[in-house]
Structure 1
Amino acid sequence: MVSSRKQKLFGIIGGSLGHSLSPLIHNYLFRRFRLDYCYTKFEIEHTQIAKIIDSIRTLNISGANVTFPYKEKLIPYLDKLDKTSQTTGAVNTIKNSHGKLTGYNTDLFGIRATLQNRLNINLKGQTILLLGAGGAARACLVELIRQKPKRIIVANRDFARAESIISRTRISGNNTDIRAIDIHGINNPEYMERLSLLANSTSADPSFLSGVIRKLARNRFHRDMKIFDLNYGRRALPESCRKYPIRYIDGLYMLTAQAAAGFRIWTGIKVEPDDIYKYVSKKIAG
């Protein structure tokens, strides 16, 4: 994509971006507020991280979003981290200020907005199961801890990685019991009890996730429980995982809410997530 000299360039950095709705969202916002900006995709390999960061500086790219699998891996290349990215150990938004790159994590805002505005759930004193231990899981764990639940169980195929995000995510003054389990032992009664929320942050193979959900459904699902899938589109949980008589929300609203927060970081303009959500939903519906 070629931009004029005065036009500001933004984009999203990720490994596989065919499904991404971020260009749709941000180019809509740029048009809406009559900004001479454009937003594109930067699909890279692991070996190109240093190169893309160098390009942001040398080409004066004004900002970028970061998605799977680089939310943690980009951090060493940045000049500064704000409090949100320091707390989560993950970055999903970069702002370029005269060659100095600052990392932010607006996933926190997206998760909080979804819990409050879409799921309308009170998690204080409740039990939560979090699937996954990547960059999105870090932000999710931080926000869930702030909700003051009784217990959070982090389940991942790599048990050591689940333990790692727990050890690095501690919020002072909080007494939530947080423990890691191997996802294959997810139905172990020693760890599991009546769940109020299942939060899925992993993009694991759909057939594998279907098996995990079926295991849980036998003994742990109840009508008051809710599922929050941080993924959207083809990366969301398959339809077979949504057939149970419980409330299911995918990650589309989270995406629009975190995009609103990122847009404000770049431009200083506040926009309501609901406005973006309505626009994107209409576009998806055709």
Structure 2
Amino acid sequence: MEKVYGVIGCPIAHSMSPEMHNDLFDFYQLQSRYHAFHIEPEKLSDAIKGFKAIGVSGFNVTVPHKIAILDLLDEVEAVALNIGAVNTVVNEEGRLVGYNTDGQGYIHSIKQKMNQSLEQSRVLLIGAGGAARAIYITLASIGVLNVDIVNRTKEKAVELIGSCQYKNSSTALTIKEVEQALGQYDLIINTTSIGMHPHVEESPISLENLSENTVVSDIIYNPLKTKLLKDAEQKGATIDNGIGMFVNQGALAFEKWTGIFPDTTRMETVVKKKLGG
């Protein structure tokens, strides 16, 4: 019998996950199919009960359901609880178990770009929203101590640092403070939507004082190269866009469902084709 997987969100028609996962199911000759399910927020509880009743094997969760779903699951992993959001659910013998693979997906991807240990790196995180929270808490959970946060509202950065249950040595900074001390960071991560299509001429910070030894990462993948990344490239820095995070969070979900860590190069090819090359 064919197993059913999927992604839930509202809206969800734009999701690239079905193409990515169904290509993998075909490639690994697994009798499984992945579908996109549009679920309105007020219908979430009924939908999860329905998934459980019909034995859906696993699913991804995207906006606006990542937080609300926590109360509807039988179990949630510790890191996802601290993040306060779930993006992957596994049906383990009738029990729905929640995970967050966003942060781990990012770490899998960025480690390939770093020329030193991530754990020993000085990291600057731009933003304090949901994506920043997943990345920050996951970094702290693997022992990355030095992660500073800059956010338009400094209080949100302070709140994020204070909510982390893992040991850290973090400071909430203003944009002015960050721009003056930019050269001290080994990795800079933009988690905001600044620079996303159609606002492609915007950048969250000035890179005037950037070191060429810094890796600059932007979790946006539309466009593939934001103004922030273009500016970093002109400074001679290594750059990284959001495709790696998206692909690797999906790969980790696939592994939790099937026991197979898939070919991420293949996944990336599918995503880039979907994005128009």
TM-score by shorter chain over 0.5: yes
Give the alignment partner of residue 221 of structure 2, picking from 224, 232, 237.
232
Check whether the contact 2:189–2:216 (CA below 8 A) recurs between aligned residues. Answer: yes
Question: What's the % identity of the aligned pairs?
Answer: 30
TM superposition shift of 1:152: 1.9
**Quick check: 1:91–1:103 contact (8 Å CA) kept in 2?**
yes
Aligned to 2:126: 131
What are the superposed Cα offsets for residues 219-262 of structure 1, whole Å, 9 maximum, x if unpaired? x322222222223235x6x6322222232211212222222221
* Per-residue CA distance 1:58-90 (angstroms, 9 max, x = gap): 333221111234322321211101234234332
How has the CA–CA distance of structure 1 residues 186 and 46 changed in structure 2, closer, same or farther, with 3 Å as cutoff?
farther
Quick one: distance in 2 between partners of 1:208 and 1:279?
Answer: 24
- Determine helix, strand or coil for the equivalent of 1:178: coil
What is the distance in 2 between the residues matched to 1:266 and 1:88? 21
| Counterpart Cα distance in 2 of 1:266 and 1:189 | 41
Task: Name the count of aligned residue pairs.
Answer: 270
Q: Measured at CA, do residues 202 and 153 of structure 1 come closer, stay the same or move farther in structure 2, by a change above 3 Å?
A: same
CA shift, 1:123, in A, is 4.1
Code of the aligned partner of 1:60: G
Does residue 182 of structure 2 align to residue 187 of structure 1?
A: no
Matched, 1:248 2:235: no
SS in 1 for 2:23: helix
Shift of 1:102: 0.5
- Give the alignment's TM-score, normalised by structure 2: 0.82
Does structure 1 conserve the Cα–Cα contact (< 8 Å) formed by 2:127 and 2:151? yes
- Once residues 13 and 253 of structure 2 are traced to their aligned partners in structure 1, the CA distance between those partners, rounded to angstroms, is 21
Q: Deviations over 1:99-146 (max 9, x none)?
A: 421001222331221122234443455432212223322221134335
* TM-score (normalised: structure 1): 0.80
2:50 to 46, 55, 58: 55
Q: Judging changes above 3 Å, is the alpha-carbon distance between structure 1 residues 211 and 259 closer, same or farther for their aligned structure 2 residues?
A: closer
SS at match of 1:65: strand
SS of 1:210's partner is coil
Q: Which amino acid aligns with 2:136?
A: L
**Consecutive unaligned residues in structure 1, runs of 5 or more:** 1-5
SS in 1 for 2:207: helix
Q: What is the CA–CA distance in structure 1 between the aligned matches of 2:113 and 2:14, rounded to whole Å?
A: 23
Letter in 2 for 1:79: D
Q: Aligned residue for 1:222?
A: 211
Change (3 A) 1:145 1:163: same
Cα gap change, 1:117/1:278 in structure 2, threshold over 3 Å: closer, same or farther? farther
**Structure 2 runs not aligned, ≥5 long:** none
Q: How does 1:162-173 map to 2 (within 5 A)?
A: 162-171=157-166
- Asked if the contact 1:19–1:233 (Cα under 8 Å) also holds between the matched residues in 2, the reply is no
Q: Equivalent of 1:203, from 186, 193, 215? A: 193
